[in-house]
Amino acid sequence: MSAGRGRFIVLEGIDGSGTTTQTARLVASLRAAGHAVVGTREPSEGPMGLLLRQALTRRLVGISDRVLALLFAADRLDHLASLVEPALAEGKVVVSDRYVLSSLAYQGMRLPLAWVEALNAAARPADLTLYLDVDVRTASRRRHARGGPTELFDADPVQRAVARAYGRVVRKHARAQRVVPVDGTGTPDAVAAEILSRAQALLSGRRRK
Ligand code: TYD
């Protein structure tokens, strides 16, 4: 990490783990602390991201798991080139709701993991990945309370498989993606405070265990 470059922070977790809420809270807190911050998400707002959202909500059907994996990887490289890398080059902090580990967990659980890893090898690693650890039942309760349309990976048995897949890839890629697990079952305030403290440790160059 050279001086003058920004920092890339990612939030990961199963559906209903709070990545979207906590990404917004982290962006707001870091801005309030005076950092220049870009909040973003994957699937991205770019053309491939729009296609992916259609597939996730089943407005677009008949996409195979392999094609979905290719689209997620393509969206990621597009997102990096169009938004993430330019912001980092300007020294900004980029916070993304989901990144590489989402593909390794969701796509890797249905396809050979090595192939999904290879598709994502060109995507720069995160400087910090906060994995929101939430049990499948709590996450399911939250998703039902939130309402809205059901998505491709929403069913509870699927989420149990996603959680197991995350367990594997979080361990395997802990070092590469600088993964720090965070207990995501607390109140939104408590989880936000823990996440902010981890992010601040990175941004101030302090090391925490
Ligand atoms: P989204 O509607 O953003 O869900 P949430 O706000 O609950 O995170 O959809 C993201 C979904 O896409 C989620 O089910 C995880 C899945 N996904 C993958 O399968 N692979 C990926 O690479 C990414 C980024 C997301």
Ligand 1 closest atom vs CA 154: 14
Q: Does 206 score more than 70 pLDDT? A: no
Decide if 67 is inside a domain.
yes
Specify if 209 maps to a domain: no
Residue 145 counted as domain residue? yes
How far apart (Å, rounded) are the C-alpha atoms in residues 80 and 42?
Answer: 10
Confidence of residue 209 (pLDDT cuts 50, 70, 90): very low
Looking at residue 32, what is its pLDDT?
Answer: 98
Span 52-56, mean pLDDT? 97
Q: Measured from the CB, is residue 154 less than 6 Å from ligand 1?
A: no
77 located within any domain: yes
Q: What is the mean pLDDT of residues 151-174?
A: 96
Nearest alpha carbon, ligand 1 atom 20: 103
* Each residue's pLDDT tens digit, 77-136: 999 999 999 999 999 999 999 999 999 999 999 999 999 999 999 999 999 999 999 999
**11-15, 22-26, 152-156: which range is least confident on average?**
152-156
**Within the chain, how many helices (H) and strands (E) appear?**
9, 5
Give SS3 for 109: coil
CATH label of the domain that carries residue 159:
3.40.50.300
Mean of pLDDT values over 158-183? 98
Answer whether residue 16 is part of any domain: yes
Distance from residue 42's CA to the centre of ligand 1 (Å): 7
Give how many domains the chain has, as a whole number.
Answer: 1
Residues spanned by the domain of 101: 7-203
Determine the atom of ligand 1 nearest the C-alpha atom of 99.
24
Output the six-digit token pair for 111: 């396809």
Ligand 1 atom showing the smallest separation from residue 152 Cα: 14
Bridge partners (DSSP) of residue 9 are 95, 128
Evaluate whether residue 172 is within a structural domain.
Answer: yes
Dist CA 89 CA 38 (whole Å): 12
Q: What is the pTM of this model?
A: 0.95
Within a domain: residue 119?
yes
pLDDT at 4 over 90: no
Q: What is the pLDDT of residue 149?
A: 79
pLDDT at position 16: 96
**Residue to mutate, 53, 56, 111, 152, ligand 1, most ligand atoms under 8 Å from C-beta:** 56
Q: Rounded CA gap, 82 and 25, in Å? A: 24
Within 13 Å, how many C-alpha atoms sit on residue 148's CB side?
10
CA atoms within 13 A on the CB side of 73: 18
In a domain, 208, yes or no: no
Report how far ligand 1's centroid is from the alpha carbon of 6 (Å).
Answer: 25
